[in-house]
């Protein structure tokens, strides 16, 4: 992929000076239109070999554009906090909102390439990482983002000459370090790894632009024109950027499904409830303080019918935990800040670090439930959300998170009884709204959406636990027992793996 970037591309000074004013004017106009349009963000990745002009290019973009609406994110060795979160967490947090441009100096590609060069990542594992990245970038584009990926290339001799030239100039000598010369020795490995990565991730929705880095004027003008052309075309394109990436929902031909199969008559007597509640709360308290839990995070996702008892169940869980250890994340309609980001962004920002617990009261499944039923998103949005949600949970599990998902189900008759009860009790009136009553009229649509959700997102690593919740006592104990059993399984597997290593 690098042959065209080793031909000795150059731009003479006269041509450069003649073309730059037009490019700068166009970039400023496009940037203004982007801010006024406010419908999509721009993500620019700056990658490549040492000495090929990555930092110089970023400086040029800041000079040619309005820096107030640019942000540069530099990623090097992860901090302690970043290491205690899933790999993609720090990149999700840095994504620019709609109407702005984010320049990534180093990106989600940097670590896989470095690990492959060092021999710490097999080719199979590298391919798996690249597949995850392709899906991540497809999600960004489907959410409306314009993704531009630049790789600045130098031949081996070109890199050596470039480093020597930078080292001789007092103004740029600081850019050349011992690591720069050390990486020149692994040039062949870099080209092999980077070439493979670029081929694997050179997708129609986010292609790579390989730029020769020998001549500063050629490099700067090339990048400026590519960014300008991409911005102008995207601003002029009024077509829907989304496309479904899941097969259509299959029609059911009988009345049996995962919800109708539940036995909602299951009950737990008061004496048994108190005994079982104390038992499982005590066990959960022990597990949350287990030494091996420091290598994991726990994510509890609560969904369910209106008035099914999510809040009461969550309180029974938190009663067993240290208040400093957990965070409850109530999920409602997205804020303006959240609407300016990809849908999953607001959930990534609350992903807990190792040793901590995040409890989501409503979750990322809102897109395939309420947003689907109420028409708050397009069919393409909620169809592709199944894939994006599975990818999200897979990445969390791969990084050590323990994900436990609950759907609390009650009958229509029991829901009606609880609604009326809430209206009569003063301190419960806030729990019942006109929207709750209106949702009852759409119970069939919500029922179908829940069944589709379970069928498409109940994976081996993050299965759904369906809770028969007509009886609150039974539901609360089942939830606590499930959490403890899943934790014991995860921590037991960790202990087994550690013994194997020893």
pLDDT band at 493 (very low <50, low <70, confident <90, very high): low
Instruction: Tell me what pLDDT residue 160 has.
Output: 84
Instruction: Tell me what pLDDT residue 428 has.
Output: 65
Instruction: Tell me what pLDDT residue 501 has.
Output: 42
User: Could you give the domains of the chain?
Assistant: 3-236 (3.40.50.300), 270-501 (3.40.50.300)
- 77-118 pLDDT tens trace: 889 999 999 999 999 999 999 999 999 998 999 999 999 999
- 208-219 pLDDT tens trace: 999 999 899 999
User: CB of 201 within 8 A of CB of 137?
Assistant: yes
- 249-264 pLDDT tens trace: 666 767 789 999 999 9
Instruction: Tell me what pLDDT residue 336 has.
Output: 95
User: What is the rounded distance in angstroms from the CA atom of residue 219 to the CA atom of residue 152?
Assistant: 8
Instruction: Tell me what pLDDT residue 183 has.
Output: 73
pLDDT band at 500 (very low <50, low <70, confident <90, very high): very low
- 138-169 pLDDT tens trace: 999 999 999 999 999 988 888 788 788 878 88
Instruction: Tell me what pLDDT residue 334 has.
Output: 94
User: CB of 22 within 8 A of CB of 223?
Assistant: no
39: Cβ contacts below 8 Å, ≥ 6 apart: 98, 99, 144
Instruction: Tell me what pLDDT residue 497 has.
Output: 45
Instruction: Tell me what pLDDT residue 496 has.
Output: 40
Return the minimum-mean-pLDDT range out of 61-65, 173-177, 320-324, 457-461: 173-177
User: What is the rounded distance in angstroms from the CA atom of residue 194 to the CA atom of residue 354?
Assistant: 31
User: CB of 338 within 8 A of CB of 346?
Assistant: yes
User: What is the rounded distance in angstroms from the CA atom of residue 490 to the CA atom of residue 485?
Assistant: 9
pLDDT band at 460 (very low <50, low <70, confident <90, very high): confident
For residue 264, report the phi and psi dihedrals to the nearest 5 degrees. -80, 5
**How does the average pLDDT of the chain come out, rounded?**
90
What letter would DSSP give residue 261? T
User: What's the angle, vertex CA 20, arms to CA 18 and CA 23, rounded to 5?
Assistant: 125
User: What is the rounded distance in angstroms from the CA atom of residue 64 to the CA atom of residue 45?
Assistant: 17
User: What is the rounded distance in angstroms from the CA atom of residue 437 to the CA atom of residue 25?
Assistant: 55
Instruction: Tell me what pLDDT residue 52 has.
Output: 83
pLDDT band at 174 (very low <50, low <70, confident <90, very high): confident
Return the minimum-mean-pLDDT range out of 132-136, 172-176, 368-372, 492-496: 492-496
Which H or E run contains 284? helix 270-288
Q: Average pLDDT for residues 176-201, to the nearest whole number? A: 85
């Amino acid at each position: 992929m690098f042959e065209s970037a080793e031909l000795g591309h150059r731009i003479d000074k006269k041509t450069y000076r003649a073309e730059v004013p037009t490019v700068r004017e166009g970039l400023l106009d496009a940037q203004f239109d982007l801010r006024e349009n406010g419908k999509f963000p721009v993500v620019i990745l700056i990658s490549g070999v040492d000495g090929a002009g990555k930092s110089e290019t970023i400086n040029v973009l800041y000079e040619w554009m309005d820096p107030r609406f640019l942000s540069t994110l530099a990623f090097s060795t992860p901090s302690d906090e970043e290491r205690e979160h899933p790999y993609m967490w720090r990149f999700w947090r840095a994504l620019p909102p709609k109407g702005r441009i984010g320049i990534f100096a180093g990106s989600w590609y940097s670590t896989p390439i470095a690990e492959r060069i060092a021999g710490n990542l097999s080719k199979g594992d590298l391919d798996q990482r690249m597949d995850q990245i392709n899906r991540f970038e497809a999600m960004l584009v489907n959410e409306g983002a314009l993704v531009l990926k630049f790789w600045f290339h130098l031949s081996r001799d070109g890199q050596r000459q470039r480093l020597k030239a930078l080292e001789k100039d007092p103004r740029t000598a600081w850019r050349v370090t011992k690591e720069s010369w050390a990486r020149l020795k692994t040039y062949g490995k870099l080209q092999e790894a980077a070439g493979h990565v670029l081929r694997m991730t050179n997708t129609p929705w986010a292609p790579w632009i390989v730029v020769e880095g020998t001549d500063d004027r050629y490099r700067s003008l090339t990048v400026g024109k590519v960014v300008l052309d991409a911005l102008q075309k995207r601003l002029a394109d009024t077509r829907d950027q989304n496309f479904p990436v899941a097969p259509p929902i299959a029609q059911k031909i009988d009345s049996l499904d995962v919800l109708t199969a539940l036995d909602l008559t299951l009950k737990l007597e008061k004496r048994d409830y108190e005994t079982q509640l104390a038992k499982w709360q005590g066990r959960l308290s022990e597990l949350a303080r287990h030494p091996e839990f420091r290598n994991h995070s726990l994510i509890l996702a609560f969904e369910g019918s209106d008035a099914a008892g999510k809040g009461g169940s969550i309180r029974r869980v938190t009663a067993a935990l240290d208040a400093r250890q957990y965070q409850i994340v109530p999920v409602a309609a997205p804020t303006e800040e959240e609407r300016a980001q990809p849908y999953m962004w607001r959930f990534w920002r609350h992903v807990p670090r190792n040793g901590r617990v995040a409890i989501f009261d409503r979750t990322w499944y809102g897109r395939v439930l309420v947003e689907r039923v109420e028409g708050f998103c397009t069919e393409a949005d909620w169809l592709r959300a199944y894939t994006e949600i599975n990818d999200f949970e897979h990445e969390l599990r791969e990084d050590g998170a323990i994900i436990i998902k609950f759907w609390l189900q009650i009958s229509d008759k029991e829901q009606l009884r609880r609604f009326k009860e809430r209206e009569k009790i003063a301190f419960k009136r806030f729990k019942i709204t006109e929207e709750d009553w209106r949702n009852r009229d759409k119970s069939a649509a919500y029922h179908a959406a829940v069944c589709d959700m379970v069928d498409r997102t109940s994976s081996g690593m993050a299965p759904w636990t369906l809770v028969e919740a007509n009886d609150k006592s039974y539901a609360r104990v089942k939830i606590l027992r499930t959490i403890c059993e899943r934790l014991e399984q995860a921590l037991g597997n960790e202990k087994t793996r550690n013994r194997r290593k020893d």
